Structure 1
Amino acid sequence: MENKKLKPTTLQAVSPLAIMIVLLTIGVGFMKLRAEPIILICATFAAIIAQKLGYTWDELQKGIIEKISSALPATLILWSVGLLIGSWMFSGTVPMIIYYGVELINPRFLYVTAFLITAVLSTVTGTSWGSAGTIGVAIMGIAQGLGMSLPITAGAVVAGSYFGDKLSPFSDTTNLAPLAAGSELYEHIKHMLYTTVPASIAAIIVYLVVGLSAESSSASTESVSIIQNQLSGIYNWSFILIIPVVIMVVGSIMKFPTLPTMVINSLISVVIGVFVQGFTLKNGFISMINGFNVTMSNFDGEVLKDITTLINRGGAVSMTTTTVLVFCSMGFAGIMSTSGMLDVVLEAILKRVKTAFGVILSTIASCFTVAFVTGNSYLSILIPGELFRKIYLERNLHPKNLSRTLEDSGTVLVPLIPWSAAGAYMTVTLGVDTLAYLPWAVLNYMGIVFAIILAMTGIGITKITDEEKEKFLIAEGEK
């Protein structure tokens, strides 16, 4: 006979979250401890509460496995990006972008350039991780070569990468948000402009102001020349090195499957490294798995530390730490979801919601809660979307208001959370701690600010008539 399950009280549901907030703030924020053990402690505490509610370990384990399974597609992409970075270092694709980038980019406009380039690439390709892991890595190299601030550059790269993640019709989250809210894709994208455009303008202004005032921190022409000379000594430059970038862009536009496209791209990059650079096939395969190392080249002489920092990176193994963090986070999320504690938290948020402003503010709070607990952008869209979609209709709010809010406070918030998969990925890929680049990822949090402003003023909030409301409710009943 199945054990009777008790519904968690508000105190029981909130306590694991409260403990997690306190421990992560103190442990990660101040003591610089690893997040994984802290999350496991919180998961253990949540599991004890769940067992007191009548849930067996087998039931909790099943929930954990389901959550980890849901994260496996993202994990596979994570590994494939590691393959791609390692192979692009091996082929010379990223080093060539760095070589010409430090020559062409004015240091005073580096930050705004970083934002705009990654915004364009992420919009065309629909992938924030791919944009940050390819052109983003190159931009970080340019910043290092020019002596510019790495946290500011990383923040601009993250902000630009998530511009496309919000607006590109090729992005999974851009498609997922209207699906969860019950709106239409291109209607959703147009509605996103109300918050994304002003947030982007704010970001550009910040990057321009900071960049123009940072000229004195730029590296000298001599140091840039040294870096270029060493890169030229390690690699041979050829237009062929751009082929991997073209493959990635074309594959995204043609909507080829992401994982096989990245793997094939990596293999082609290794072939380019063998024939153009003269490196060995064995080292090419090693670069894909363990990352590229300058010792794989035929360069004679002492290599600058700046150069090794730039190009000794990549490989699927470099993503192992991030993968472990994902599994730990999914374990905690699985226990919270299976035991019903997460549902109770979200229900508590809705108790006193009576106005359109309150509904939108509650949606933002719910997205933040789910993102903070799970560290998963998909869950931060799906769970609040399912919870709020009928509430929006009952308050005569068009579903596209919900889908926009889900992206403003779900998709772009996750990379600012250190223990999330996105936060950990950006840290590993760009070489800057999440909390260090957080203040400079202006787009990511300004979108939430403008979402709140619109909710308060009613600007950009689309209402529906009773007839339209009836049609939406009928459609809901058919699902």
Structure 2
Amino acid sequence: MAKEDLFEHETKKEFKFFMAIIPLLVMVVTMLYAIVVLETDPHLPLIIGTITAALVAIINGFKFDDLEEMMYKGIKLALPAVVIIMMVGLIIGSWIGGGVVATMIYYGLMIISPQYFLVTICIICGIVSLAIGSSWSTMATIGVAGMGIGVSMGINPAMIAGAVISGAYFGDKMSPLSDTTNLASGLTNTDLFEHIRHMMFTTVPGLIVSLIVFFIIGINVIGTNTSSPEDIQVMMTSMNENFVISPWLLLVPALVILCIVLKVKAVPALIVGVILGTLCAILVQGETLAASASFLMNGFVLESNNEMVNELFNRGGLLDMMYTVSMTIVAMTFAGILEYTGMLRAIMNQILKIAKGTLGIISATIVSCFATNATCSEQYISIVVPSRMFLRTYIENKLHSKNLSRSLEDGGTLTSVFIPWNTCGVFIYGTLGVAAWEYAPFAILNFTVPVIAVILAATGFGIAKISSEERDAYIKEHYPEEVENPPAT
């Protein structure tokens, strides 16, 4: 059978909902067991889900050769995201090796003020996370230091954790270096920087609300015991000892931001960042060409006397992104079978019975992402699976794909922190020492943004539409088999 004729075969019958849901249920149950009980990675549950989906499809009349091509087609959909994720590994390695990240963090830490600690730590975490594209690394470094400083000031640890999480996830969500940001844009065929600009409609107001709340809380809870931030000073000293800190290095992110403003495509803009970071490593930090090449491949390695500084800077490189890449590929084999066999369509038919119009579709997306976080215990899955479930629906309803990519982040990336058994909830508890049910009321950004997203969907403000011609062109490009053989209505 030729590849172009792959999807022209007939199945014995259309999938019923109870049959289509079996692979998802198997994946969810195995995911819960793997993450919560075995404390292992989500790859194997996804593989088990893929095998189950293949068996269900074979029972329904598909041949294995067809399913194999569907898995490849699913992987192909994720290739743009995979390319950008690998580019992100290169840029992180070059920016750390070039002292760019250290400079951004150093000057960010200089603005800390005990009197407005909650607001300040939220902003600092936002700056650091924006610079490195990782909420986890930010919480494991600046967050840990912030917890120690805040507790010494007499502030409730849950409040500090909430401020740290809000800032860290703001930066992670808005950073072009973030893996979840690249996943959401890539899996929905949305330009990375267009996706980031569209997220400003929900994320920036969410940050403003968070800062206002932290300001009000901060001026009422900070007592007279405002000891000097010694931990921060130790970190700054260590960074000075291991990097050349210069305001001129801030030109590197400034130029990349300029590329974003000028609407340069993601890959060329990131290539500019990689080149500039590598030049800084050689010309400013005095690294050899071999060392700079190692930063790009293996990431930066720092052995200082400060463990927090080591944790913050020992990362990056192409190999550092292979976990995310492999997880994405495995997830897309699962999604490929579910989508191209029609299983997802059978499930979507049930969901769309209650999801009507822009408000219903966006609300259903956010709820689905949260439910996936709760059942699959992994924020990556909460982006990957709903992205394939809802993309066709958005296009058919003349909603631009960037509405979906934004909703995936609003409902998936941000809500992962509220599930105690989710990998994010577990990580935060182990790092900051505060349980999810304690910091949840103070993770202002994480629950405010989804609410804002629903309000925008109800009012129509900040919702991007496409024309009927653009809708038809998209369907013709991505679903050519259905244009040639339209389903019966």
Residues in 2 aligned to 1:334 and 1:305: alpha-carbon distance in whole angstroms? 42
Partner of 2:168: 157
Identify the match of residue 68 of structure 1 among 59, 67, 75.
75
Shift of 1:10: 0.9
Q: Is the 8 A contact 1:163 1:443 kept in 2?
A: no
Number of equivalenced pairs: 426
Partner of 1:396: none
Partner of 1:323: 325
Q: Secondary structure at the match of 1:277?
A: coil
Partner of 1:415: 413
Residue deviations 1:50-77, cap 9 Å, x none?
A: 1111111221111111121111111111
Identify the match of residue 234 of structure 2 among 226, 240, 251.
226
Q: Is the 8 A contact 1:46 1:335 kept in 2?
A: yes
The alignment yields a C-alpha RMSD, in angstroms, of 4.8
Identity %: 25
Residues in 2 aligned to 1:432 and 1:159: alpha-carbon distance in whole angstroms? 18
Going from structure 1 to structure 2, the CA distance change for 1:31 and 1:94 (only over 3 Å counts) comes to same
Residues in 2 aligned to 1:266 and 1:307: alpha-carbon distance in whole angstroms? 22
Deviates more, 1:346-355 or 1:316-325: 346-355
Q: Superposition pairs for residues 48-447 of structure 1, below 5 Å?
A: 48-106=55-113, 108=117, 109-114=119-124, 117=127, 132-133=132-133, 141-146=141-146, 147=148, 153-162=164-173, 193=201, 199-205=206-212, 207-208=214-215, 213=221, 220-294=228-302, 303-351=305-353, 361-362=363-364, 364-365=366-367, 375=381, 377=383, 380=386, 384=390, 386-387=392-393, 406=404, 409-416=407-414, 439=440, 442-447=444-449
Shift of 1:135: 10
Residue deviations 1:436-469, cap 9 Å, x none?
A: 79957644543433455677xxx6258xxxxxxx
Residue deviations 1:358-413, cap 9 Å, x none?
A: 666546556768999984758746753533666x6xxxxxx66x879645633423
Residues in 1 aligned to 2:104 and 2:39: alpha-carbon distance in whole angstroms? 34
Q: Secondary structure at the match of 2:235?
A: helix
Q: Is the 8 A contact 1:86 1:313 kept in 2?
A: yes
Q: Secondary structure at the match of 1:292?
A: coil
Residues in 2 aligned to 1:82 and 1:28: alpha-carbon distance in whole angstroms? 26
Residues in 1 aligned to 2:354 and 2:48: alpha-carbon distance in whole angstroms? 32
Deviates more, 1:273-282 or 1:439-448: 439-448
Shift of 1:43: 1.3
Going from structure 1 to structure 2, the CA distance change for 1:333 and 1:417 (only over 3 Å counts) comes to farther
Supply the AA of the counterpart residue of 1:384: F
Going from structure 1 to structure 2, the CA distance change for 1:389 and 1:70 (only over 3 Å counts) comes to closer
Indicate whether 1:33 and 2:32 are aligned: no
Supply the AA of the counterpart residue of 1:267: I
Shift of 1:321: 0.8
Q: Secondary structure at the match of 2:347?
A: helix
Shift of 1:151: 7.8
- Ranges in structure 1 where 5+ consecutive residues have no aligned partner: 119-128, 180-184, 296-301, 393-398, 463-470
Residues in 2 aligned to 1:474 and 1:254: alpha-carbon distance in whole angstroms? 27
Supply the AA of the counterpart residue of 1:348: Q
Shift of 1:8: 1.4
TM-score, with structure 1 as normaliser: 0.71
Residues in 1 aligned to 2:293 and 2:425: alpha-carbon distance in whole angstroms? 24
Residue deviations 1:7-30, cap 9 Å, x none?
A: 111111112222323332343245
Shift of 1:318: 0.7
Supply the AA of the counterpart residue of 2:347: V
Q: Secondary structure at the match of 2:284?
A: helix
Q: Is the 8 A contact 1:378 1:411 kept in 2?
A: no
Indicate whether 1:7 and 2:5 are aligned: no
Shift of 1:243: 2.7
Q: Secondary structure at the match of 1:265?
A: helix
Shift of 1:141: 4.6
Residues in 1 aligned to 2:52 and 2:255: alpha-carbon distance in whole angstroms? 47
Q: Secondary structure at the match of 1:54?
A: coil
Q: Is the 8 A contact 1:99 1:231 kept in 2?
A: yes
Going from structure 1 to structure 2, the CA distance change for 1:219 and 1:97 (only over 3 Å counts) comes to farther
Q: Is the 8 A contact 2:109 2:124 kept in 1?
A: no
Residues in 1 aligned to 2:57 and 2:30: alpha-carbon distance in whole angstroms? 20
Going from structure 1 to structure 2, the CA distance change for 1:45 and 1:249 (only over 3 Å counts) comes to same
Q: Is the 8 A contact 2:133 2:175 kept in 1?
A: no
Deviates more, 1:376-385 or 1:68-77: 376-385
TM-score, with structure 2 as normaliser: 0.69
Shift of 1:219: 8.2
